[in-house]
Amino acid sequence: MYFLRPARLISALLLSLLSFASAWADEVQVAVAANFTAPMKRIAADFEKDTGHKATLAFGATARFYAQIISGAPFEVFLAADDETPAKLEKEGGAVNGSRFTYATGKLVLWSAQPGVVDAQGEVLKKNAFSKIAIAAPKLAPYGAAAVETMTKLGLMATLERKLVIGESIGQAFSFISTGNAELGFVALSQVYEDGRIKSGSAWIVPENLHSPIRQDAVLLARGKDNKAAVALMAYLKTDKAKTVIRSFGYQSGN
């Protein structure tokens, strides 16, 4: 009779377990708000490593995703940039009732790719010594709406409106600034912040009293209710490991 040596036996068992996990692994199609691109890429990699499930990610503006979802786009989980759109999908039957929760609360930042352009108090806005300021489309992206709200509360909207460069999403607004097509602009803190610091350029983190809270909700879409990977991802977003990643990009982690 032939017996496997202990090391070979352990390897054989691991291979069997991996084969078993692969047999039960699934894939989930995820619509992700553009501001959450960097943290979600990291979370998706951890999710696949820890569960065997694969999350295929698409990034864009929340309002655009809503239009695609109600038109039949094959998304199974939606990570929005607000709490209103997922609630609307629940109400309309496009999402599973009771699945919605706040995965992150975002922060708005005035940012320039160039050092020294944006001061720590945001006085650069009042000085108005620039030609273009980028924001995301306020009707499509919650961070764009927060930017308009901030400028309005500061009494600067009428002055700055003619200088606005509007991106379809917060990702496009960031691109305008990073490429120099706008000297500065309002973006999500997560786009310029990692592990406790602003990665480059200069920035002013907008005080929370200048705009409504940017609560970002996740929801299990109707198409994903029977997909074990979709259900697993929703649970994974609530784990301490995922919350640590979320906080490392400047968000407050949700419930």
pLDDT above 90 as % of the chain: 83
Contact (CB, 8 A) for 27 and 224: no
Segment 193-221 shows an average pLDDT of 94
The whole-angstrom separation of Cα 172 and Cα 180 is 12
What the block records as the tokens of 37 is: 């691109």
Q: pLDDT by residue (tens digit) across 239-255?
A: 999 999 999 999 998 76
Segment 138-155 shows an average pLDDT of 94
Q: pLDDT by residue (tens digit) across 26-37?
A: 999 999 998 999
Residue type at 239 in one-letter notation: T
Specify whether domain 25-105+214-253 bears CATH 3.30.70.3040.
Answer: no
The whole-angstrom separation of Cα 97 and Cα 103 is 16
Question: Phi and psi of 197, rounded to 5°?
Answer: -155, 155
Q: What was the pLDDT predicted at 189?
A: 95
Angle at 103 between CA 102 and CA 105, to 5 degrees: 80
pLDDT score of 172 more than 70 = yes
Q: Who has greater pLDDT, 167 or 8?
A: 167
Number of neighbours of residue 224 by Cβ within 10 angstroms: 25
Residue listed under structure tokens 């629940």: 90
Q: What was the pLDDT predicted at 105?
A: 96
For the chain, the distance separating the N- and C-terminal CA atoms, rounded to the nearest angstrom, is: 56
106-210 has the same fold as 25-105+214-253 = yes
pLDDT score of 11 more than 60 = no
Q: What was the pLDDT predicted at 61?
A: 87
Question: What are the extents of the domains in the chain?
Answer: 25-105+214-253, 106-210
Which run of H or of E encompasses 167?
Answer: strand 164-167
Segment 103-127 shows an average pLDDT of 97
Q: What was the pLDDT predicted at 141?
A: 87
pLDDT score of 194 more than 90 = no
Segment 179-187 shows an average pLDDT of 97
Q: What was the pLDDT predicted at 6?
A: 52
Looking at the structure, give the CATH architecture of the domain made up of residues 106-210.
3-Layer(aba) Sandwich (3.40)
